[in-house]
Amino acid sequence: MNDLVAEYIKRTSKSRELYEELSEYLPGGVGSHIRWFEPYPFYLDRADGARVWDVDGNCYVDYVMAWGPLLFGHRRPRAVIEAVKRQLEEGVIYGIPSKLMRSTISMIKKLVPCARAVKFANTGTEAVMHAVRIARAFTHRKKILKFEGAFHGYSSEAWISVAPDISEAGSYERPKPVPDCAGITEEQASNFIISHWNDSEHFRRVFREHKDELAAVLATPINTGLGAIPPRDGFLQTIREETEKHGIPLIFDEVTTGFRVGRSSGQGLYGVIPDIATFGKIIGGGLPIGVICGREDILEVTDPAKGTHPVAGTFTTNPISLVACNTMLQEIERDENLYERLDKDTAKLVEGIGEILEREDVDYYLSRVGSMFQIYFTEGGKEVLNYRDTLKIDRKMFRVFFLALLNNGVFSSPRLLGRWYLSAAHSSEELGETLAAVEKAAKSLKKLKTA
């Protein structure tokens, strides 16, 4: 691995200079902790389509896509950019309700199955935070049932048991809620009940034990906290049946899956409609936004005239984000074959990656839903179904693969449980370059295996 690190350092000397300078007054040299990786991150100069260029002039085929929002690619779609330019001349922020809310809400209600009522926030993290609080205000209860390994943003209302130390996480039968950072207290974590993704029996037992104290069940239609792990057949349906039977609100966090896996998002893909859903990333068209939508009677607690749960913020429903959101949804609706093309291209790439890894006798498990996927280096290609399965991933093999790809012009997620995202801008040229880089990276893996 040392030779891969040395090659990266040689290729990115200007990024290293920037990193060292920024780190003096910006801890870690990054604006978001997930953007950091060893030995240091590269810094961008520009981006276009499916590619990014760093300050050293290196070009990369980008599969991080700003961590998910760029469905059409960098500087795409042009309609969003032009709409934002026009709005900049009309006003950047009003602090007063605007007519733009009507058309934006109309598009959300048209495309999102559960969207009977809509509220806005500034980010996906904020949206989930509000959704949890709304459920508590509606039910007058505190406890939230969530799944170990599922990520729902960085608020204390949700950043629990995402990547817990197994020594603190309890037994499989009795998992314990664990804060995911030092700033979240044990008292806050105690309001969470933990179950396991893809284990219907465990969920049903834990849910029934605590149903009288639950404010909501919080889930993702696809567990993107673990990379891209879909639900087993019937799993989401079990969650929906139990929550409906006992009158417990079901919250779907669609911040990542929303408009990534289909025009009607994860809830449409699996035909399971939640009581509340949250959105961010893609729905913003490249600008920050959060959306909370769902049943009218539940979201009624946010009505200012009633004063039960305020949803507020200086930049909430700012006209720039609303215009970007509305135009983005119009583009998604207009492009009838968008998801068919994305699915076809991603399937082609995944098939090619699999053929190369198998040819080089590399053990792996690959999970894909639509245009997102992740590669897991597990012994014998063991399937990954839940968080505890991920503890057996070979981290060294992952890091070698990531660095080898990076040195050969492909930027995939530096996170062990991240995701590859394709965009509409990824062409056959980019896919071909990617497979050529995977060939070289696979040889590095084979060398590591035989060392």
**What would the pLDDT profile of 385-432 be if each residue is shown by its tens digit?**
999 999 999 999 999 999 999 999 999 999 999 999 999 999 999 999
Domain check: are 327 and 205 in the same one?
yes
CATH of the domain at 434: 3.90.1150.10
Share of the chain above pLDDT 70, in %: 100
The reply to whether 194 and 133 lie within a common domain is: yes
Q: What is the pLDDT of residue 285?
A: 97
pLDDT mean across residues, the chain: 97
Look at residue 447 in the predicted model and tell me its pLDDT.
Answer: 86
Asked if pLDDT for residue 253 goes beyond 80, the answer is yes
What pLDDT sits at residue 1?
76
Exposed / middle / buried, residue 353 (Cβ in 10 Å: 0-12, 13-18, 19+): buried
Mean pLDDT computed over 374-382: 97
The arithmetic mean of pLDDT across residues 65-74, rounded, is 98
Residues 349 and 311 in one domain: no
Which pLDDT band, with edges at 50, 70 and 90, does 448 fall under?
Answer: confident
Query: In the prediction, which pLDDT does 451 show?
Result: 67
d(CA 417, CA 34): 11
117 with 253, same domain: the answer is: yes
Tabulate helix, strand, coil % of the chain (nearest 5). Answer: 45, 15, 40
Residue 412 zone, left/alpha/beta (φ > 0; ψ -120 to 50; rest): beta
Domain boundary among 334, 354, 386: 334
Q: Is 328 found in the same domain as 190? A: yes
Task: Supply the CATH number for residue 134's domain.
Answer: 3.40.640.10
Same domain flag for 41 and 98: no
How far is 65 from 61, CA to CA, in rounded Å?
A: 10
End-to-end CA separation in angstroms for the chain = 11
**Residues 21 and 65 reside in one and the same domain:** yes
- Whether 372 shows a pLDDT value over 80: the answer reads yes
Q: How far apart are CA 116 and CA 295, in angstroms?
A: 5
**pLDDT, average across residues 187-211:** 98
Do 422 and 353 share a structural domain? yes
Q: What are phi and psi of 216, to 5 degrees?
A: -170, 165
**30 and 138 housed in the same domain:** no
| Cα gap 410→432, rounded to integer Å | 11
Same domain, 31 and 153: no
Distance CA 371, CA 347 (A): 8
The domain boundary, picked from 304, 334, 364, lies at 334
Q: Which amino acid is at 110?
A: K
Residues β-bridged to residue 283 = none
DSSP track, 122-139: SSHHHHHHHHHHHHHHHH
Q: In which residue are the tokens 């993107």 written?
A: 224
CA-only gyration radius of the chain, Å: 22
111 to 48, 114, 273, 411: CA distances (angstroms): 28, 9, 13, 32
H or E segment at 51?
Answer: strand 51-54
pLDDT average, residue stretch 100-121: 98
Same-domain pairing of 150 and 172:
yes
Total residues belonging to the chain:
451
Average pLDDT over residues 10-15: 98
Which structure tokens are listed for 439? 């060939």
Query: With 90 as the cut, is the pLDDT of residue 307 above it?
Result: no
Last-in-domain residue among 334, 368, 393? 334
Number of Cα atoms under 13 Å in the Cβ half of residue 328: 31
pLDDT for position 19: 98
Distance CA 128, CA 131 (A): 5
| Residue 185, both tokens | 């207290």
pLDDT of residue 272: 98
Domain total of the chain: 2
Q: Residue 434: which pLDDT band, with cuts at 50, 70 and 90?
A: very high
Whether residues 119 and 223 share a domain: the answer is yes
* pLDDT number for residue 308: 85
Query: How many Å apart are CA 266 and CA 112, to the nearest integer?
Result: 10
Residue 253 belongs to domain spanning: 78-334
HSE-CB for 367 with a 13 A CA cutoff: 24
Distance CA 353, CA 366 (A): 9
Rounded to the nearest 5°, which phi and psi values hold at 62? -100, 125
